[in-house]
Amino acid sequence: MMPDINIRILVPEMFLFLWALFLFLFDLGTKRKNPKQIGYLAMIGVAATAVLLFFFHGGNSFGSMFRSDQLAVFFKVIFLGSAFMAIGSSFDIAKEKIKNHRGEFYGLILFSTVGMMFLSSADELISLYIGLELTTVPLFVLAAFYKDDKISLEAGLKYMIIGAFSSAILLYGISLMYGITGTTDLIEMKINLSLVFLSYGKIGAGFILAVVMIIAGIGFKLALVPFHMWAPDVYQGAPTPITAILSVGSKAAGIVAFLRIFVNGLIAFSDKVMAPLDWGITVAVLAAAAMIIGNVTALRQKNIKRMLAYSSIAQIGYVMVGMVAATKMGVAAVGYYMFLYLFANMGAFAVATIFNDKTGSDGISSYSGLAKSSPSVSAFMTVFMLSLAGIPPLGGFAAKYFVFAAGIQAGYLWLVILALLTAVISLYYYANVIKQMYFSRETSEVKIKPAVSANIVLIMGVAGIIIFGIYPEPILNFALEAARVFAF
Amino acid sequence: MNFPILSYLIFIPLVGFVAVMFLPREKHWLIRWVSTFFTFIPMVLSFWLTYDYYFNYSGSAAMAYTEGPLSWIAPINAFYFLGVDGISVPMLFLTGLLTFLSIIASFNIVNRVKEYFAFFLLLETGMIGVFCALDFFLFYVFWEVMLVPMYFLIGIWGGPRKEYAAIKFFLYTLFGSIFMLVAILILYFTSEPHTLNILELIQTAPSTVTHSMQMVCFIFFFVAFAIKVPVWPFHTWLPDAHVEAPTAVSVILAAVLLKMGTYGMLRVSWPMFPEMVRYFHIPIALLGLIAIIYGALVSMAQKDLKKLVAYSSVSHMGFCILALGAYTSVTAISGCLFQMFSHGLLTGALFLMVGVLYDRAHTREIAAFGGLGAKIPVYTGLMVLFAMGSLGLPGMSGFVSEFMVFVGSFASFNVITALAVLGVVLTAGYMLRMVQRIFLGEFNAEKWGGLTEMNTREILMVAPLAILTIVIGVYPAPLSNILRATLENLVNVLAR
């Protein structure tokens, strides 16, 4: 039987894809002399996709290969947000550094976003894999976009090799899973696994291998410890807005893949009762390692992009606390966390981008005395840092609270206590940035006046953090709605 | 009661914070007076609240002026829920008064004036919020909100080691708070239906939470509050923060922030886990004793005047902890609150006085002075007054509170209390020695010949504290009437 094809719900993705092609042509048509217009066009395209998403969602297409459910919509908003904010902060880069390939730069960002959107809708392993590839392949190119910069090339190459490697591992895991269950559809897989388990009382070691490989494959994309080695180098070398996408958009894509496979497909195996077939404890240990290694290593970083790289490794550790809870509250907490992480992390990277445009430096110590010369940018950065550290009433606190509540509810008290202890450590390096900006007696010579588009990004980030920090209910309810997609 | 006075108390400083943020940064006088205005109103409100509570509500232990519970974050059952009783009203009075005085004392700040006053106003919101919140989520938010402005106030306007002191304070307190957060989450998930309402949890926690979980929660809360008090051995942030902070911030730290620790114990730990209080009351009293003696001995060794006052705080807060151990006695617990109040007045005043001297002499080293008594008599008189109050001279608030603590605690622990009385002797030792070395003896006319007397602004900012100290010392009945009903109820809960 031919599965039903529902073109209607594909409209946002198709629109964004065509818009990316249009950007290529526009760049050529204006003889590549349009630093501003093309950037605004890219932002408009992303915003328009969000509007289209509001009107065209709900339902399936191609069987379960494309499911436009609440979960997918929730994460698509995050992807679009990350693309929007990355583009908004990259105007100066487009003007100064990438003179001849602006169309490609913005177009590839949009391509990658389309890939993420497909990924978040995939309820089936093949389309999930394709979505993941669509996401990462444009990012390989983007990471190496400063063609004359060795560090950027290194970043691109490293990311490509690691990306290809991890995709192969993931694919191998998927094929093993297919061998055990005879299907790539996650819901059927869920049923078949229980049937196999009920009829034989056990599932072979191949299952463990498959689970480990899938965790590793997605773990590479998420930069989950111990698959995180590539992240700091790539984050440092890639153009800063691309680093921001890597740390927010592409991570959110990995998170949604993880949610679909583990918290939905393999939900029966989340608990310790199923040992040794369970995945909960494995992920909990990885989360613990991510929080410890990420936070402790971030303490020693002198480059803000590397510091944010390690901090985002640690942040994924916190998200995983909600993941191992594998409850409705856990999934909602993960969603809320990613949503607020979007504002804080994209904002922090936007400041780093603007600062680098002005000074050419990424050193944390060069932020010294910035509060006197550029008070508003410093105040924004302070809000981002404090939100990442989880200080109330900012959004990062509510996010951590929900995740940890879910963790304690699911009985992971040790993990939550560990997470909180590492959160105290994290305050040190986040506060270090604030210290540099505010506590110095000298006034910095750098005076930053962000462009209009960058101001939009910064204000969006700060407003999101403060409003949804004090009043988290709308986002939390949205996330709970998304969590309802899984049958808990 | 339609006028939501507690919300006004909390949010007027916040409005002030926003207002100051929008003022032009060069207009120092405007920023100062706007901030004064936005702390004056909460002060008047807190006075009115105390007055009204005394006459209309002090007869019962029930929460007065309650607002809410209004739904805030429905999925996690967080509510906006405020209320005050005999424990929080004196603290609100203290907060309102001392924030206003600190703002007056900050008029000599010239560096980054706008940010300074903005942070101060934000700090007041957090402090008042902690004393009013009756929902754990709200309580925790206010508890943490204070840290950020405090971090900036120490870190930007502090002394030579300000960066170190600021981050140490921030990390230390956050470290304590996370234990509180875990305990809150445990309580939330063990209550049925899940609730964060402090009053409900006080009713249900003793019966629904298992013995071992009660112990875990009690210890976690205790660590969080003990760091704030600070109880030995969690006190090491205090000397750094107090010494490096600018005068007005030291005042707030000593007078209000330290009280939050003991306030948290009285509001949360003690009524919620009476069984654990009974179980741990001897170790608690011992911690109090150690703080009293240790703090006094360390004060004795200090060469820096501000450090001396800082360590004397450790010693004085030890009396509160000792009294909290004597949970069966209303007198002891009242003594604890009296001590909190009196320490707020006296140590606040002492820090202000140290600041006055430092502004003129640019040193705080005790040995550098001598014979100032004849040169600046008004200053000397006031300083001696506060020092006497601090060492517990009869007729001043320090005597009343310490006497109550000793009388109340003696029935429970006679040996520990007897040893704690030694602390008073030691306090007298270092306070008198300080007075002697600074104000008596030979005057170095060459060095201090240009020292000027306190000006009117400075006298006005310590005068209310001096008056209150004496009033409470001579006639403590109004304060004890405010406390009585609430504390009797608390002791009943503890003895149950």
Query: What is the rounded average pLDDT of the residues B423-444?
Result: 87
Number of Cβ atoms within 10 Å of the Cβ of A259: 25
Higher pLDDT, A86 or B191: A86
A-chain CB neighbours of B155 within 8 Å are 435, 438-439
Which band of pLDDT confidence, cut at 50, 70 and 90, is reported for residue A3?
low
Q: What pLDDT is recorded for position A308? A: 93
Residue with tokens 């550094």: A97
Cα A389 from Cα A344, distance rounded (Å) = 10
Q: Does A416 touch chain B (CB under 8 A)?
A: yes
B140 close to B163: Cβ distance less than 8 angstroms: no
Q: Find the range with the poorest average confidence among A49-63, B6-20, B144-158.
A: A49-63
Number of domains observed in the structure of chain B: 2
How do residues B451-484 score in pLDDT, each as one tens digit? 888 888 888 889 999 999 999 999 988 888 888 8
> Could you give the CA distance from residue B243 to residue B239 in angstroms, rounded to a whole number?
6
Residue A186 has a pLDDT of 87
Among B residues 466-495, those touching chain A with beta carbons less than 8 Å apart: none
CB spacing of B167 vs A431 below 8 angstroms: yes
Q: Do B144 and A391 touch (CB under 8 A)?
A: yes
Q: Mean pLDDT across the stretch B306-312?
A: 90
Q: Which residues of A touch B72 (CB under 8 A)?
A: 471, 473
> Is B75 in Cβ contact with A480 (below 8 Å)?
yes
Closest residue in B to A440 (Cα) is: B156
Both B398 and B262 in one domain: the answer is no
* B258 and B320 co-located in one domain: no
Q: Give the pairing type, strands B64-73 and B78-84.
A: antiparallel
pLDDT averaged over every residue in chain B: 89
B182·A424 Cβ contact <8 A: no
Q: Choose among B73, B151, B170: nearest Cβ to A476.
A: B73
B-chain CB neighbours of A472 within 8 Å are: 73
> What pLDDT was estimated at residue A1?
52
Do residue B132 and residue B280 come from a single domain? no
A427 shares contact with chain B (CB less than 8 Å): yes
Name the DSSP class of A264.
I
Distance, in Å, from the CA atom of B385 to the CA atom of B379, rounded to the nearest integer, reads 10
Residue A202 pLDDT exceeds 80: no
Q: Are residues B305 and B450 in the same domain?
A: yes
What is the structure's pLDDT at A2?
Answer: 56
Judged by DSSP in three states, B66 sits in: strand
Query: Is any Cβ of chain B less than 8 angstroms from the Cβ of A401?
Result: yes
Residue B473 identity (one-letter amino acid) = G
Let me know whether B248 and B293 are in one domain. no
Helix (H) or strand (E) holding B380: helix B377-391
A408 CB within 8 Å of a chain B CB: yes
Distance CA B84, CA B92 (A): 9
Q: Do A473 and B74 touch (CB under 8 A)?
A: yes
Percent of all residues in chain A with a pLDDT value above 90, rounded to a whole number: 57
Place of tokens 């009869």: B394
Same domain, B7 and B21: yes
Residue with tokens 């909390």: B10
B155/A438 touch (CB, cutoff 8 Å), yes or no: yes
Inter-chain residue contact A435 with B155, CB threshold 8 Å: yes
Contacts of B145 in chain A (CB under 8 A): 392-393
Determine what percent of chain A is predicted with pLDDT higher than 70: 99
What are the pLDDT digits (tens) for B337-371?
999 999 999 999 999 999 888 888 888 888 888 88
Q: Is the pLDDT confidence value at B1 over 60?
A: no
| Residue ranges of B 180-239 with Cβ closer than 8 A to chain A | 181-182, 185-186, 188-189
CB contact under 8 A, A401 and B76: yes
Residues 6+ apart with CB under 8 A from B322: B285, B288, B289, B292, B405, B409, B416, B417, B420
Same domain as B428, residue B389: yes
Q: From the list B72, B75, B155, which residue is nearest A439 (CB)?
A: B155
User: Among B220, B248, B272, where does a domain finish?
Assistant: B272
A431·B185 Cβ contact <8 A: no
Q: Which residues contact B95 (CB under 8 A, 6 or more apart)?
A: B46, B124, B127, B128, B131, B256
Report yes or no: B349 at the A interface, CB cutoff 8 Å. no
Both B153 and B295 in a single domain? no
pLDDT tens, residue by residue, B37-89: 999 999 999 999 999 988 888 888 888 888 878 888 888 888 999 999 889 99
Whether the CB of B103 is below 8 Å from some CB of chain A: the reply is: no
Rounded to a whole number of angstroms, the distance from the CA of A391 to the nearest CA of chain B is 7
Per-residue model confidence (pLDDT) at position A14: 93
Report how many helices (DSSP H) and strands (DSSP E) chain A contains, helices first: 21, 2
Q: Give residue A197's pLDDT band: very low, low, confident or very high (50, 70, 90).
A: confident
B124, B95 contact by CB (below 8 A): yes
In this complex, the residue of A392, A397, A416 whose CB is nearest that of residue B182 is A416
Distance from CA of A417 to the nearest CA of B (A): 7
Residue B8 has a CB neighbour count (10 Å cut-off) of: 15
B116 at A interface, C-beta within 8 A:
no
Question: Of the candidates A329, A420, A428, which has its C-beta nearest B167's C-beta?
Answer: A428
The three state secondary structure string of A186-255 is HHHHHHHHHHHHHHHCCCCHHHHHHHHHHHHHHHHHHCCCCCCCHHHHHHHHCCHHHHHHHHCHHHHHHH
What's the domain range around B206? 1-272
Taking the C-alpha atoms of residue B237 and residue B220, their distance in angstroms, rounded to an integer, is: 19
Tell me the residues of chain B between 256 and 295 that have a Cβ less than 8 Å away from chain A.
Answer: none
Q: Do B166 and A408 touch (CB under 8 A)?
A: no
Residues of A in contact with B76 (CB under 8 A): 401-402, 405, 476
Contacts of B171 in chain A (CB under 8 A): 424, 427-428
By the CB < 8 Å criterion, does A299 face chain B? no
Residue B145 in contact with partner chain A when CB distance is under 8 A: yes
pLDDT digits (tens, 9 = 90+) for A378-391: 999 999 999 999 99
Instruction: Tell whether B231 and B336 lie within a shared domain.
Output: no
Region B272-286: what's the mean pLDDT?
A: 90
Chain A: nearest CA to B190, how far in angstroms? 9
Q: Of B272, B305, B326, which residue is a domain's last?
A: B272
Q: How many residues can be counted in chain B?
A: 496
Radius of gyration of chain A (CA): 21
Distance from CA of A439 to the nearest CA of B (A): 5
List pLDDT tens digits, range A328-361: 999 999 999 999 999 999 999 999 999 988 888 8
B76 and A405 in contact by Cβ < 8 A?
yes
Cα–Cα distance, B236 to B168 (Å, whole number): 9
Question: Can you tell me the mean pLDDT for B263-287?
Answer: 90
Do B301 and B216 belong to one domain?
no
B268 and B255 both lie in a single domain: yes
Beta strand B64-73 with A66-67 is unpaired
Put simply, the answer to whether B145 touches A393 (Cβ < 8 Å) is yes
C-beta of residue B445 within 8 angstroms of C-beta of residue B393: no
CA–CA distance, A54 with A77 (Å, rounded to integer) = 10
Contact B56, B103 (CB under 8 A): no
All residues of chain A having their beta carbon less than 8 Å from the beta carbon of residue B118 are none
Chain A residues with beta carbon closer than 8 angstroms to that of B179: 420
For residue A427, list chain B residues with Cβ-Cβ distance below 8 A. 170-171, 174
In angstroms, the CA B363 to CA B304 distance is 9
Residue where a domain terminates, one of B216, B243, B272: B272
Please name the residue of chain B whose CA is at the shortest distance from the CA of residue A379.
B115
For residue B144, give how far its alpha carbon lies from the nearest alpha carbon of chain A (Å): 6
> Predicted confidence band at A8 (pLDDT cuts at 50, 70, 90)?
confident
Distance CA A382, CA A362 (A): 17
- Residue A220 contacts B, CB cutoff 8 Å: no
Closest-CA residue of chain B to A438: B156
Cα separation, A231 vs A224, whole angstroms: 10
pLDDT tens for A18-69 read 999 999 998 888 877 777 888 999 999 999 999 999 988 887 888 778 888 8
Give the whole-angstrom CA distance, residue A101 versus residue A107.
Answer: 10
Judged by CB atoms closer than 8 Å, whether chains meet at A417 and B182 is answered as yes
Mean pLDDT over A1-7 rounds to 70
The answer on B463 and B417 residing in a single domain is yes
